[in-house]
Amino acid sequence: MKINDFNFAGKKAIVRVDFNVPLDENGKITDDTRIRGAVPTLKKILDEGGALIIMSHMGKPKGKVNPKLSLGQITDAVSAALGVPVQFAPDCAKAKAQADALKPGEVLLLENLRFYPEEEGKPVGVEKGTPEYDEAKKAMKASQKEFAKTLASYADCYVMDAFGTAHRKHASTAVIDEFFSADNRMLGLLMEKEVNAVDAVLGNIKRPFVAIMGGSKVSSKIGIIENLLGKVDKLILCGGMTYTFAKAHGGEIGESIVELDKLDVALGVEELAKKNGVELVLATDCTATNGLDFGTMTVKAGSDIITCPSDKVPAGYEGVDAGPDSQKAFAAAIDGAKTILWNGPAGVFECDDFTAGSRAIGDAIAKATAEGAFSLIGGGDSVACVNKFGLADQVSYISTGGGALLEAIEGKELPGVAAMNA
């Protein structure tokens, strides 16, 4: 069922959102992006005369109650975002009476789902790989189904609007759907946008297709890179992984981050790109320093900042950003693109001295988008880059998905989406 085809009048809707928002030491929200992202779906239900039950996780309590991760802390913020009072259920598995009492236009926020181990469905207190674990896993699967059944009993229909957890087969994302007919379960407006954005990049490609993958490790992105090499026309690899590629060719990289056990993987990526006719763009020069303080994200007084070839970083120096020549090469590769995917920065952009590489990518994407390209930005660091540079309104779509987006790009099926189509 499509959410815009469903009439919520007189219905109780239970909605899985991603309200895993960052809190300061006083329990105050420091970034409410995820709450704002869910508002269109939640308001649609209320505006049509439905009653609303909101469920989410926060943090990693590992199946135990942790007051510091209670969703009760964000009740006022959710109320302000929706413009209506929000009731709170202090136990997500014992909220039937509160849910039954809800009237049209009223809202109930359930306590952190992950206070129950059944949400994630992982056995607790049993060592993985043992016969005991296999038995515990079987028992937990049954318990997870019961937990999902309990949550489902609160409502007439189910809305999945948490793309950030769509890659997890949790009770609230991929098991609960079993207890609703196909006509009473649907993706929320945010989920629809996310799924459509991924499809625009990977399923409905307009060429040239350019992907930019940054970050520190080749190993964490290898599945994604290999999948993209079967789809893109150009692939820019930047950030810390630059130095693994440089080292694989015998380069000197000083103190730069490197995965010495992945040099063959880097060479394999180059070979696969060549085989698939993909233009692989790597940084040829870098900005390096001998005094970056990662704690404060500042350069220590008296330290040097230099520009050098990526494969000739002096001893004692660390490559921390793409150099001027690389910035030009990245921008040139993006110029004229019709489909763009960006995941991962070109350097330590958190330090204001090393934003140039990421900024060059962001500006080039904004220019291409203005000329008609579809651009998808995903991953926390890339999103932070776009926001830091004031480019959020100059790209096509910013994904809130994190791990879910990466798995989708890697070509994996997302349980939270697949469940809706079953």
The whole-chain average pLDDT of the chain stands at: 94
pLDDT of 131 reads 85
Confirm whether 16 is a catalytic residue.
no
pLDDT higher than 70, residue 272 = yes
pLDDT digits (tens, 9 = 90+) for 172-188: 999 999 999 999 999 99
pLDDT of 371 reads 98
pLDDT higher than 90, residue 379 = no
The neighbour count for residue 276, using CB atoms within 10 Å, is: 16
Given pLDDT bands bounded at 50, 70 and 90, which one contains residue 40?
Answer: very high
pLDDT of 220 reads 86
Tokens of 361: 């990518």
pLDDT of 422 reads 67
Identified catalytic residue from 59, 63, 291, 403: 403
Q: What mean pLDDT do residues 117-144 have? A: 90
pLDDT digits (tens, 9 = 90+) for 347-366: 999 999 999 999 999 999 99
More confident residue, 124 or 63: 63
Q: What mean pLDDT do residues 39-53 have? A: 98
Q: What mean pLDDT do residues 109-126 have? A: 94
Given pLDDT bands bounded at 50, 70 and 90, which one contains residue 120?
Answer: very high
Residues 6+ apart with CB under 8 A from 138: none
Which among 197, 200, 227 has a CA at the least distance from the CA of 213? 227
Rounded (10°) angle between helices 356-370 and 380-388: 80
User: 419, 215 in Cβ contact below 8 A?
Assistant: no
Q: How many CA atoms lie within 13 A of 173 on its CB side?
A: 26
User: 115, 63 in Cβ contact below 8 A?
Assistant: yes
Q: Which of 113-122, 175-184, 189-198, 326-335 has the lowest mean pLDDT?
A: 189-198
Confirm whether 217 is a catalytic residue.
yes
Task: Report percent pLDDT > 90 for the chain.
Answer: 79
pLDDT higher than 80, residue 60 = yes
Phi (first) and psi of residue 2, to 5 degrees: -90, 135
Pairing of strands 298-299, 86-89: unpaired
Q: Across-strand partners of 109?
A: 54, 88
Identified catalytic residue from 34, 185, 234, 262: 34
Confirm whether 72 is a catalytic residue.
no
Residues 6+ apart with CB under 8 A from 181: none
Q: What mean pLDDT do residues 94-104 have? A: 98
How many helices (DSSP H) and strands (DSSP E) are in the chain? 14, 19
The neighbour count for residue 222, using CB atoms within 10 Å, is: 17
Which among 77, 85, 65, 67 has a CA at the least distance from the CA of 28? 77
Identified catalytic residue from 137, 217, 312, 388: 217
pLDDT digits (tens, 9 = 90+) for 131-167: 888 889 999 999 999 999 999 999 999 999 998 888 8
Confirm whether 114 is a catalytic residue.
no
Which among 306, 379, 295, 303 has a CA at the least distance from the CA of 341? 379
Model confidence, pTM: 0.83
The neighbour count for residue 249, using CB atoms within 10 Å, is: 12
Identified catalytic residue from 10, 49, 203, 380: 380
pLDDT digits (tens, 9 = 90+) for 274-321: 999 999 999 999 999 999 999 999 999 999 999 999 999 999 999 999
User: 248, 263 in Cβ contact below 8 A?
Assistant: yes
Tokens of 215: 């970050």
